[in-house]
């Protein structure tokens, strides 16, 4: 039986087979725009489930203190190759849910095809862990995939579902469709860029 998508073997098989339809091939344009207008120098950024890791170099170039996690060994190897030796130690092998990370230790958590990659039953844990890792006033920002629920992954969100998941502790500050031409075919017309802020205490 195939492992579930919250097990590293699910992803190891796909990286090893070169079956990676989520591979953006570079920094997605909506993130590039965010980086242009968001001062990140010195801010602590976490990239959970970083995959190929293109964004890690972009966050570092913006001056952020970035840490990326992935629990798939081939993903970690690819991300380290992507970012090169100077940033390789920023790519950490580890499980987002259990790896020792500082509570309230991050200013920004970046999301792309991490939530939708996990079984829907684990989504509340993703939101709770994100809240625990962000400092009050910190943000979670990135791409959210909206589609009817089917076999997945990717597992689609319903309209309003991210607000319910993240709950009243977070305020939605930005929400815009990703132009279809900027998305991979798998996600085209079904992605939104959203930013939520953990309300200050």
Ligand X SMILES: C[S@@+](CC[C@H](N)C(=O)[O-])C[C@H]1O[C@@H](n2cnc3c(N)ncnc32)[C@H](O)[C@@H]1O
Told to check if 123 binds ligand X by CB under 6 A, we report: no
Nearer to ligand X by Cβ, of 107 and 111: the residue is 111
125 phi and psi, to 5 degrees?
-70, -35
Told to check if 112 binds ligand X by CB under 6 A, we report: yes
Nearer to ligand X by Cβ, of 171 and 186: the residue is 186
Distance CA 189, CA 182 (A): 9
172-176 contacts, C-beta under 8 A, 24 or more apart: 172/196, 173/139, 173/197, 174/141, 176/30
Number of residues that bind ligand X (CB under 6 A): 23
Assess contact for 27 and 47: CB atoms under 8 A. no
Among 30, 67, 69, 178, binds ligand X (CB under 6 A): 69
Assess contact for 181 and 193: CB atoms under 8 A. no
Told to check if 30 binds ligand X by CB under 6 A, we report: no
Among 43, 60, 64, 75, binds ligand X (CB under 6 A): 75
24 phi and psi, to 5 degrees?
-75, -15
Told to check if 106 binds ligand X by CB under 6 A, we report: no
Q: CB 69 → ligand X: shortest distance, Å? A: 5
Q: CB 65 → ligand X: shortest distance, Å? A: 19
3-state helix, strand, coil in the chain (%, to 5): 35, 25, 40
Point out which residues bind ligand X (CB under 6 A).
Answer: 6, 11, 22-24, 48-52, 69-72, 75, 95-97, 112-114, 117-118
């Amino acid at each position: 039986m195939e492992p579930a998508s919250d097990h590293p073997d699910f992803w190891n098989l796909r990286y090893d087979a070169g079956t990676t339809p989520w591979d953006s091939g570079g920094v997605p344009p909506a993130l590039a725009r965010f980086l242009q207008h968001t001062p990140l120098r010195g801010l602590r950024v976490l990239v959970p489930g970083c995959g190929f890791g293109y964004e890690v170099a972009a966050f570092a170039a913006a001056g952020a203190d970035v840490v990326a996690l992935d629990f798939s060994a081939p993903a970690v190897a690819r991300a380290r190759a992507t970012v090169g030796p100077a940033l390789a130690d920023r790519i950490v092998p580890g499980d987002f849910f259990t790896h020792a990370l500082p509570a309230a230790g991050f200013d920004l958590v970046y999301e792309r095809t991490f939530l939708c990659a996990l079984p829907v039953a684990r989504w509340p844990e993703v939101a709770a862990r994100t809240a625990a890792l962000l400092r009050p006033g910190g943000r979670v920002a990135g791409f959210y995939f909206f589609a009817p629920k089917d076999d997945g992954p990717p597992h689609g969100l319903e309209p309003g579902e991210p607000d319910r998941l993240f709950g009243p502790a977070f305020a939605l500050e930005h929400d815009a469709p990703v132009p279809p031409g900027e998305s991979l075919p798998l996600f085209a017309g079904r992605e939104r860029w959203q930013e939520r802020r953990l309300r200050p205490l």
